[in-house]
Every structure is written in structure tokens, then in C-alpha cells.
């Protein structure tokens, strides 16, 4: 039987995406994404538990992400998960979760300025008006 490794994450970018290019011109974009869930602690009180993931994307996906997302942007993504073990500056063994991106969808705002697509900064609660230029046919 074949094996399968797929993770789906809906979270917020922890820092601006960083894009680099290989000598052959392949784009590589790295960023972090966090998910937060509420859990009850031993005292029965609600507390937030945040899980951080490092994400690597390649090619056209990498370029699109670096152009349109910034720290705090919300993103839906799918990819392959792997656990990395490394030694930190203090010599302690640490582990991190790394995702190799396979698919993504923008959620919420869609540009680096933090404005929702089609909206102006001063009309956040009202729908944007469509013009003839906005009609796709």
C-alpha cells in the first residue's frame, strides 16, 4: 500500500516572505505561518496554544506569495509536512515543522498594504462598487 503525507493549514504569516533565486533562476520563497487554538489548561482556564510552521514554496507560487503577502496575512495552504531536528545556538536539540507548499489560497486581504481586494481604506464596512472595468465579460 502507498503512503500519503498531506497537511492543510489556515493561519497567519509570522513574518514577511523572503524570496531568493537559484543560479538557474528558480524562485524559492520561505515564510512562517502560525495557527492558534484554545485549550483548557490544568486549572480549567482557556489558553491559546500557537503552533509555528516553516513553509517553503518554489517557482511561480513562490513569486506570487512574495508579491502579495506580508506579515499578518491570512493564508490557506496545503503541502507535505516533515519534522526537522537541529541544534540551536546554545547547543540544545530543537525540532521544527517544515511544510513544502503544494497549493494555496488567499484569505482576507490580498495585498501587502493590508487592504481587502476592491476596497478603499476608508470604506471597510461597506461593499465596494463595481465599475464596467471590473466585469470579466
pLDDT digits (tens, 9 = 90+) for 83-133: 989 899 999 999 888 999 999 999 975 555 544 333 333 333 333 444 444
Average pLDDT, the chain: 83
| 7-39+47-116 CATH, one of 3.40.50.620, 3.40.50.300, 2.40.50.140, 3.30.1360.200 | 2.40.50.140
Evaluate if residue 26 carries a pLDDT over 70. Answer: yes
Q: What pLDDT shows up at residue 81?
A: 95
Q: What is the pTM of this model?
A: 0.72
Please name the residues in contact with 15: beta carbons below 8 A apart, sequence gap of 6 or more: 31, 32, 71
Stated as kind and residue range, the H or E segment containing 18 is strand 18-21
> Would you place residue 136 in the very low, low, confident or very high pLDDT band (cuts 50, 70, 90)?
very low
Q: Where are the alpha helices (DSSP H) in 12-134?
A: 59-68
* Helix, strand, or coil (residue 62): helix
Please state the rounded mean pLDDT for residues 38-44. 90
Amino acid at each position: 500500500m502507498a503512503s500519503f503525507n498531506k497537511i492543510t493549514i489556515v493561519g497567519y504569516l509570522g513574518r514577511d516572505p523572503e524570496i531568493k533565486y537559484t543560479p538557474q533562476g528558480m524562485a524559492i520563497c520561505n515564510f512562517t505561518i502560525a495557527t492558534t487554538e484554545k485549550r483548557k489548561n490544568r486549572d480549567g482556564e482557556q489558553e491559546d496554544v500557537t503552533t509555528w510552521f516553516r513553509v517553503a514554496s518554489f517557482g511561480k507560487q513562490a513569486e506570487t506569495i512574495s508579491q502579495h503577502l506580508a506579515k499578518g496575512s491570512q493564508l490557506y495552504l496545503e503541502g507535505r509536512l516533515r519534522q526537522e531536528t537541529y541544534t540551536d545556538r546554545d547547543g540544545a536539540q530543537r525540532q521544527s515543522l517544515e511544510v513544502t507548499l503544494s497549493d494555496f489560497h488567499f484569505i482576507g486581504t490580498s495585498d501587502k498594504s493590508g487592504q481587502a481586494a476592491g476596497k478603499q481604506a476608508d470604506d471597510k464596512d461597506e461593499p465596494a462598487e463595481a465599475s464596467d472595468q471590473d466585469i470579466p465579460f
